[in-house]
Amino acid sequence: MQTTAEQLIVRGATRADLDAVVALETLSFPVPWRREFFVTEIDAIGRFNIVATTATGELVGYVFAMFFLDEMHVNKIAVEPSWRRKGIAILLMEECFAFARRNGVASVSLEVRESNAPARALYRSIAFVESYTRPRYYPDGESAIVMTCELAPGGEVA
């Protein structure tokens, strides 16, 4: 029987997850973060780094985010290709919003490649709006769209 999104385990990311995280990162991004970036993020303060795994420990997805005062920024999100379109990115982003609610975060932001239609659709589906463009933001010269989700007082999506 296939595992469903509801049966996944979502927990804080640790150094022990990094082999699998880096493998999925490399598979998912044209200019992936190097392992050292993830090591730095795992150890840094003001971070909200989570993974979703199956009951047997297979990595299915991750989010690496940072927060400061009332703002949160999602640095990375990826879902393992064979698990996509099953609601796992939504599940991970809901964990971010729940963390935001508990910690007085008022807005969540992120950058997304102009050409990344799946991710832009994902974010629009969870109330992010496209705020502005950062020209040539990525190392290969592609521009980024900055997307923001404002949370109402109490943390609900506004």
Interface contacts to ligand COA, rule CB under 6 A:
28-29, 77-79, 84-90, 112, 116, 118-119, 121-122, 125
Give whichever of 1 and 121 is closer to ligand COA, judged by the CB atom: 121
* Least distance in angstroms from the C-beta of 27 to ligand COA: 8
Whichever of 64 and 99 has its CB closer to ligand COA, that residue is: 64
How many angstroms separate the CA atoms of 33 and 37, rounded?
6
Bridge partners, 49 (sequence order): 64
Which residue lies nearer to ligand COA by CB, 104 or 117? 117
42-50 LR contacts (CB < 8 Å, sep 24+): 42/13, 42/14, 42/15, 42/18, 48/72, 48/96, 48/99, 49/12, 49/13, 50/10, 50/11, 50/12, 50/13, 50/92, 50/95
Query: What minimum distance in Å lies between the beta carbon of 110 and ligand COA?
Result: 6
CB of 11: closest distance to ligand COA in angstroms?
Answer: 17
Shortest separation between residue 122's beta carbon and ligand COA, angstroms: 3
- Whole-angstrom distance, CA of residue 154 vs CA of residue 103: 10
Dmax of the chain from CA atoms? 46
Q: Which of 87/155 has CB closer to ligand COA?
A: 87
47 vs 69, which CB is nearer to ligand COA?
A: 47
Residue 75 three-state SS = strand
**Min separation Cβ 49 and ligand COA, Å:** 15
